[in-house]
């Protein structure tokens, strides 16, 4: 795997360069906003990547919370299975289907519902035990980075288009900032708390923070905001070259995200191994002199 990392790094760098070329030269300028619109190819993929990372963090956190409780772990598995089946069926029932925002396809909602149990089992299979906590802290850190990019590029885009850097009453802006603050608090808790319950408390905070992700995503569907209505998923239209560039940029960001998470995950594992080795050395060092003195006390008798 170590030999694969440099190869993937080179391919990712080439992919990012290709995405940049697509964003600056291939994709056309927007008819109303001009070239400033091109920031969408970094703003939106960063947001989607952050949402994905926070979603994985949520899956790892809820499994870590029940990792030492067999009954709760089995119950959660069945909740995921039954919830996925019921959710897909419910999407196509007339009362629920009528609640779906205009332009959002029921098939897309059903696919999203199925992704929840699928990702739950994949995460639990690939990252058993303490590796769930390692995955959680990794995705939270990288997710905060991408969410920060969203909060920085958003005002840069808004200033020439809206005439203001920030709209305090905008539900999407406010909910995104709250999401960022929650996960920054998560990282602060992980960094400065030495309690034996720190990992459990952080996992609970991550579960709470993940509840804000659907609010951020759906805010422009249900609330009147400064943000335009969605142009992907049936809510509008986008030039095919723009859509192609947007998806290429997101794939490039996902590749880069995977490499960063891979490096951070390995680093976190090594860090914990070193801390465990130091703890064992401390225990051995503390117990060694006492054991060594026992034969002397007996011989002195």
Q: What are the boundaries of each domain within the chain? A: 4-67+129-257
Distance CA(87)–CA(120), nearest Å, equals: 15
What would the mean pLDDT of 94-112 be, rounded to a whole number?
Answer: 76
Kindly report the pTM of this predicted structure. 0.87
Contact 207, 61 (CB under 8 A): yes
Average pLDDT over residues 215-219: 77
Average pLDDT, the chain: 85
| Whole-number pLDDT of residue 230 | 63
Of 41-55, 80-94, 169-183, 286-300, give the range with the top mean pLDDT: 41-55
pLDDT at 128 over 70: yes
Cβ contact 256:12 at 8 Å: yes
| pLDDT at residue 131, rounded to an integer | 94
The pLDDT of residue 278 is 84
Q: What does the pLDDT read at residue 296?
A: 38
| 139-163: pLDDT as tens digits | 999 999 999 999 999 989 888 887 8
- What is residue 34's three-state secondary structure? strand
Cα separation, 68 vs 229, whole angstroms: 44
For the cut 70, the answer to whether the pLDDT of residue 279 exceeds it is: yes
> What is the reported pLDDT for 220?
67
3-state SS class at 166 = coil
């Amino acid at each position: 795997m170590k030999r694969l990392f440099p190869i993937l790094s080179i391919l990712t760098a080439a992919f990012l360069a290709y995405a940049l070329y697509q964003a600056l030269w291939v994709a056309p300028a927007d008819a109303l906003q001009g070239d400033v619109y091109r920031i969408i190819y970094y703003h939106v993929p960063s947001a989607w990547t952050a949402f994905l990372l926070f979603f994985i963090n949520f899956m790892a956190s809820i499994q870590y919370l029940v990792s030492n409780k067999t009954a709760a772990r089995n119950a959660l598995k069945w909740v995921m299975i039954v919830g996925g089946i019921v959710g897909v069926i419910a999407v196509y029932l007339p009362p629920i289907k009528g609640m779906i925002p205009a332009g959002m396809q029921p098939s897309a909602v059903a696919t999203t519902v199925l992704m929840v149990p699928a990702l739950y089992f994949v995460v639990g299979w690939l990252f058993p035990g303490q590796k769930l906590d390692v995955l959680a802290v990794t995705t939270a850190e990288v997710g905060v980075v991408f969410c920060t990019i969203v909060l920085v590029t958003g005002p840069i885009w808004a200033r020439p288009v809206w005439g203001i850097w920030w709209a305090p009453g905008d539900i999407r802006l406010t909910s995104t900032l709250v999401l960022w603050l929650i996960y920054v608090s998560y990282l602060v808790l992980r960094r400065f708390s030495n309690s034996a319950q720190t990992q459990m408390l952080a996992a609970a905070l991550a579960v709470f923070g993940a509840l804000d992700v659907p609010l951020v995503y759906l805010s422009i569907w249900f609330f009147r905001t400064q943000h335009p209505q969605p142009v992907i998923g049936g809510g509008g239209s986008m030039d095919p070259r723009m859509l192609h560039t947007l998806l290429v940029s997101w794939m490039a960001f996902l590749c880069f995200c995977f490499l960063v998470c891979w490096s951070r995950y390995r680093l976190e594992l090594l860090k914990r191994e070193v801390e465990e080795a130091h703890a064992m050395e401390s225990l051995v060092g503390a117990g060694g002199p006492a054991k060594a003195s026992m034969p002397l006390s007996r011989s002195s008798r």
